[in-house]
């Protein structure tokens, strides 16, 4: 097995393709966060973890705790903020 040299590895990790892949996800602005949190509260969620826009296509909310005590990972439509997917954690 061939070992990748540190300089080659560093070049790969900082290539434009790698940087672009990380740039596709972003945190919400303060205004977006307020709207998303209002929807979550209205749907009965009491707390949640990270919120991010994934690939510009869907809001992801990790570890959302519902008032029934269950924990979910959620996806919200970026246009309407409707919950489109709710996976029990």
58-74 residue pLDDT tens: 999 999 999 999 999 99
pLDDT over 90 percentage in the chain: 71
Backbone angles phi, psi at 77, to 5 degrees: -65, 130
Among residues 88, 85, 43, 49, the alpha carbon closest in space to that of 67 is found at 43
Question: What is the span of the domain harbouring residue 36?
Answer: 26-88
Number of structural domains (the chain) is 1
Instruction: Give the pLDDT score at 38.
Output: 98
Residue 35: CB atoms within 10 Å: 14
Instruction: Give the pLDDT score at 24.
Output: 81
CATH number at residue 74: 3.10.450
76 in any annotated domain: yes
Higher pLDDT, 16 or 18: 16
For the segment 37-66, the average pLDDT, to the nearest whole number, is 97
For the segment 2-22, the average pLDDT, to the nearest whole number, is 51
For the segment 48-56, the average pLDDT, to the nearest whole number, is 96
């Amino acid at each position: 097995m061939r070992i990748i040299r540190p300089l080659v590895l560093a070049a790969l990790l900082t290539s434009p393709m790698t940087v672009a892949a990380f740039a596709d996800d972003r945190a919400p602005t303060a205004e977006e966060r307020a709207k998303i949190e209002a929807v979550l509260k209205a749907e009965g969620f009491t707390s949640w973890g990270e919120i991010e826009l994934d690939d510009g296509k869907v809001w992801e909310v990790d570890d959302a705790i519902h008032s029934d005590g269950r924990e979910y990972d959620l996806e919200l439509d970026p246009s309407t903020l409707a919950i489109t997917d709710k996976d029990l954690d």
